[in-house]
């Protein structure tokens, strides 16, 4: 028997709870009735990656060496597609994927394409993300390329977003964080946003901690991790349409 290596590599750990959530979304996005019909996956979840935002907005340690170790480890395992379960890390990952010979399925690009397909041309999109993602203009640039304008919160509102993300990472997310995010969404809507990007893998978890907060009633929120999961399934199946083929 020749067993091909797993096709999909997930670089996670940023943070671990968001990695659990992303893998769950990938499993749920896979049309499968038995174990054997699911995608073979290797997940490299090393949370020792230094804080991405601290490196982007201040003088924090460069996360590149730890990110490179993960990308290299996944490449050594034989994967071909790379999915990174952290929006902010996309400010660092594209050259690392290229040097390892992996095809990056970018959470940023997938999201920008999906928004362009569903919103009117020239629409404004709100952004809930880390300061690092906002400062790096990852979503600003990707959305501009498809004719959309990104609107990030003002500094005082951004601080509330940052606090909600930190609470998820600390395991202390509660309804107050979700309520704060709902208010930020309201401000973005009032400023002209027609939808918002949950542009940090922890944002969806923060929103879920508020069972009484229906943020979609405030502004439709797009989950990039969910879009990425579906795109990874689609690309993996293109590479190997029938999982059983790999067994022969």
What is the sign, positive or negative, of the torsion defined by CA atoms of 181, 94, 101, 75? negative
| Contact criterion met (CB below 8 Å) for 40 and 8 | yes
Greatest Cα pair distance in the chain: 60
- 143 catalytic residue (yes or no): no
User: Residue 89 Cβ, how far from a copy of itself at the closest point, in Å?
Assistant: 11
What Å distances lie between residue 33 and 27, 38, 154, 187, CA to CA?
11, 8, 46, 43
- From the candidates 8, 79, 86, 143, which is the catalytic residue? 86
Nearer to a copy of itself, 56 or 66 (CB): 66
User: Residue 87 Cβ, how far from a copy of itself at the closest point, in Å?
Assistant: 14
Q: Mind giving me the DSSP string for 68-104? A: HHHHHHHHHTT--EEEES-SGGGGTHHHHHHHHT-EE
Residues that bind a copy of itself (CB under 8 A): 1, 3, 5-6, 13-17, 19-20, 23-24, 27-28, 30, 32-51, 65-66, 69, 73, 76-78, 169-171, 243, 246-247
Nearer to a copy of itself, 17 or 179 (CB): 17
Nearer to a copy of itself, 145 or 234 (CB): 234
Nearer to a copy of itself, 49 or 81 (CB): 49
Spatial separation of the C-alpha atoms in residues 242 and 220, rounded to whole Å: 35
For the chain, the distance separating the N- and C-terminal CA atoms, rounded to the nearest angstrom, is: 6
Query: What residue has token string 């973005």?
Result: 188
User: Residue 75 Cβ, how far from a copy of itself at the closest point, in Å?
Assistant: 11
- Distance, C-alpha 215 to centroid of its chain: 19
User: Residue 179 Cβ, how far from a copy of itself at the closest point, in Å?
Assistant: 22
Nearer to a copy of itself, 27 or 159 (CB): 27
- From the candidates 200, 222, 229, 236, which is the catalytic residue? 200
- Provide the token pair at 85: 């379960």
- Provide the token pair at 241: 């349409």
User: Residue 115 Cβ, how far from a copy of itself at the closest point, in Å?
Assistant: 27
Question: Which positions are catalytic?
Answer: 86, 200
């Amino acid at each position: 028997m020749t067993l091909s290596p797993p096709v999909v590599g997930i670089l996670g750990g940023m943070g671990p709870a968001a990695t659990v959530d992303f893998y769950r979304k990938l499993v749920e996005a896979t049309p499968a009735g038995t174990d054997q019909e699911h995608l073979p996956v290797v997940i490299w979840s090393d949370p020792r990656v230094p804080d991405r935002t601290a490196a982007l907005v201040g003088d924090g340690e460069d996360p590149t060496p730890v990110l490179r170790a993960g990308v290299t480890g996944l490449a050594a395992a034989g994967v071909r597609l790379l999915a990174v379960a952290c929006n902010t890390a996309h400010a660092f990952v594209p050259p690392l994927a290229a040097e390892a010979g992996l095809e990056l399925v970018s959470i940023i690009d997938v999201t920008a394409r999906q928004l362009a397909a569903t919103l009117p041309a020239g629409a404004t999109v709100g952004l809930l993300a880390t300061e690092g993602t906002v400062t790096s203009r990852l979503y600003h640039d990707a959305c501009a390329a498809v004719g959309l304008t990104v609107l990030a919160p003002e500094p005082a509102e951004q601080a509330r977003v940052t606090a909600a993300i930190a609470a998820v990472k600390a395991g202390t997310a509660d309804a107050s964080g979700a309520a704060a995010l709902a208010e930020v969404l309201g401000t973005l809507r009032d400023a002209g946003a027609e939808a918002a990007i949950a542009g940090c893998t922890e944002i969806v978890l923060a929103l879920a901690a508020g069972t009484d907060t229906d943020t979609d009633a405030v502004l439709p929120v797009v989950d990039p991790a969910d879009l990425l999961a579906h795109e990874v399934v689609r690309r993996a199946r293109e590479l190997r349409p029938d999982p059983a083929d790999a067994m022969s």
